Amino acid sequence: MAGLAVSLGSGAMTNSIAEMEDAEVLIVIGSNTTIAHPVLATFVKQGVVRKGAQLIVIDPRRIPLVDQSAIWLRQRPGTDIALINGLMHTIIKENLADTAFIAERCENFEEMRKVVEGYSPERVEEITGVPAGEIVKAARLYGQAGKAMILYTMGITQHTHGTDNVKSLANLAMLTGNFGRPSTGVNPLRGQNNVQGACDMGGLPNVLPGYQPVIDETVRAKFEALWKAPLDARVGMTLTDAMTAAADGRIKGVFIMGENPVVSDADSHHVMAALKKLDFLVVQDIFLTETAAMADVVLPAACFAEKDGTFSNTERRVQRVRKAVNPPGQALADWQILTALANVMGLDWKYESPQAIFEEIRVATPSYAGITYERLEKETLQWPCPTADHPGTPILHVGRFSRGKGLFAPIEHQEPFELTDEAYPMTLTTGRVLYQYHTRTMTGRCAGVNDMAPVAKMEMNPADSARMQVVDGEFVQVSSRRGHIEVRVEVTESVREGVVFIPFHYAEASANALTVAALDPVAKIPEYKVCAVKVEKRPQPGLHG
Partner 1 sequence: MNSLTLNGKNISFEPGQTILEAARTHGVDIPTLCHLQAADHKGVCRICVVEVQGADRLLPACATPAGDGMVVDTHSSKVVQERKMLLELLVANGDHNCLFCEANGDCKLQALVYEYGVKNVARRAGYEQRPIDDATPMILRDFNKCVLCGRCVAACNDVQVNNAIPYPFGRREDKPPVTGWLPVADYDRCVHCGECVQACPVGALLEKKALGKAMTWQTQKVRTTCPYCGVGCQMWLHVKDNQVVKVTGVEDVLPNRGRLCVKGRFGYDFVHAPDRLTTPLIKENGAFREAGWDEALGLVASRFSEIKAAHGPQSLAGFTSARATNEENYLMQKLVRTGFGTNNIDHCARL
**Nearest distance in Å: CB 37, ligand SF4:** 6
232 binds, among partner 1, ligand SF4, none (CB under 5 to 8 A by kind): partner 1
254 binds, among partner 1, ligand SF4, none (CB under 5 to 8 A by kind): partner 1
Q: Is the Cβ of residue 235 or residue 452 nearer to ligand SF4 in the bound state?
A: 452
**Cα 440 to the center of its chain, rounded Å:** 18
d(CA 310, CA 423) in angstroms, rounded, equals: 49
Is residue 45 near partner 1 by the rule CB under 8 A?
yes
Chain residues 405-444 in contact with partner 1, contact rule CB under 8 A: 434-435, 437, 441-444
Q: Is the Cβ of residue 37 or residue 488 nearer to ligand SF4 in the bound state?
A: 37
The candidate with the shortest Cα–Cα distance to 58, out of 138, 127, 3, is 138
Among 80, 98, 200, 527, binds partner 1 (CB under 8 A): 200
Among 28, 82, 141, 208, binds partner 1 (CB under 8 A): 208
3-class state of residue 261 by DSSP: helix
Is residue 38 near ligand SF4 by the rule CB under 6 A?
yes
Beta-sheet strands, E only, within 307-356: 309-312, 317-321
Q: In the chain, what is the straight-line distance between the N-terminal and C-terminal CA atoms, in Å?
A: 42
3-class state of residue 72 by DSSP: strand
Which range of residues in 168-176, 412-420, 447-455, 478-486 is near partner 1 by CB under 8 A?
447-455
Q: Is the Cβ of residue 176 or residue 313 nearer to partner 1 in the bound state?
A: 313
CA distances to 263, 264, 303, 330, 444 from 441, rounded to whole Å, are 10, 11, 12, 20, 6
Q: Is the Cβ of residue 103 or residue 305 nearer to partner 1 in the bound state?
A: 305
> Are the C-beta atoms of 332 and 301 separated by less than 8 Å?
yes
471 binds, among partner 1, ligand SF4, none (CB under 5 to 8 A by kind): none
Is residue 39 near ligand SF4 by the rule CB under 6 A?
yes
Binding residue count for partner 1, defined by CB under 8 A: 151
Neighbours of 178 (CB within 10 A): 28
60 binds, among partner 1, ligand SF4, none (CB under 5 to 8 A by kind): none
Q: Is the Cβ of residue 416 or residue 444 nearer to ligand SF4 in the bound state?
A: 444
Phi-psi region for residue 511, left (φ > 0), alpha (ψ -120 to 50) or beta?
alpha
The candidate with the shortest Cα–Cα distance to 7, out of 214, 165, 145, 113, is 165
Which residues face 477 on adjacent strands?
486, 536
Total residues found in the chain within this entry: 545
Is residue 452 near ligand SF4 by the rule CB under 6 A?
no
Q: Phi and psi (nearest 5°) for 420?
A: -70, 150
Binding mask 316-345 for partner 1 (x = CB under 8 A): -xxxxxxxxxx-xxxxxxxx-xxxxxx-xx
Q: Is the Cβ of residue 304 or residue 351 nearer to ligand SF4 in the bound state?
A: 304
Q: Is the Cβ of residue 272 or residue 476 nearer to partner 1 in the bound state?
A: 272
Q: Is the Cβ of residue 319 or residue 372 nearer to ligand SF4 in the bound state?
A: 319
Q: Is the Cβ of residue 51 or residue 537 nearer to partner 1 in the bound state?
A: 51
Among 32, 157, 168, 510, binds partner 1 (CB under 8 A): 157
225 binds, among partner 1, ligand SF4, none (CB under 5 to 8 A by kind): none
Q: Is the Cβ of residue 37 or residue 220 nearer to ligand SF4 in the bound state?
A: 37
Q: Which helix (H) or strand (E) covers residue 27, if one does?
A: strand 25-29
**Nearest distance in Å: CB 10, partner 1:** 15
**Nearest distance in Å: CB 309, ligand SF4:** 16
Among 74, 89, 161, 307, binds partner 1 (CB under 8 A): 307
**Nearest distance in Å: CB 77, partner 1:** 17
Check whether the bond before 131 is cis (ω within 30° of 0).
no
Neighbours of 14 (CB within 10 A): 28
> Are the C-beta atoms of 20 and 39 separated by less than 8 Å?
no
Among 26, 28, 35, 37, binds ligand SF4 (CB under 6 A): 37
Q: Is the Cβ of residue 38 or residue 454 nearer to ligand SF4 in the bound state?
A: 38
Chain residues 506-545 in contact with partner 1, contact rule CB under 8 A: 523-525
> Are the C-beta atoms of 530 and 78 separated by less than 8 Å?
yes
Which range of residues in 83-91, 127-135, 227-235, 395-403 is near partner 1 by CB under 8 A?
227-235
360 binds, among ligand SF4, partner 1, none (CB under 5 to 8 A by kind): partner 1
The candidate with the shortest Cα–Cα distance to 527, out of 416, 446, 424, 393, is 416
330 binds, among partner 1, ligand SF4, none (CB under 5 to 8 A by kind): partner 1
Is residue 312 near partner 1 by the rule CB under 8 A?
yes
> Are the C-beta atoms of 354 and 335 separated by less than 8 Å?
yes
d(CA 142, CA 175) in angstroms, rounded, equals: 11
Per-residue buried b or exposed e for 455-480, using 16+ beta carbons within 10 Å of the residue's own CB: ebbbbbbeebbeeeebeeebbbebbb
**For the CA atoms of 120, 123, 124, 126, what is the dihedral angle to 10 degrees?**
160
Is residue 66 near partner 1 by the rule CB under 8 A?
no
312 binds, among ligand SF4, partner 1, none (CB under 5 to 8 A by kind): partner 1
List residues near ligand SF4 by CB under 6 A: 37-39
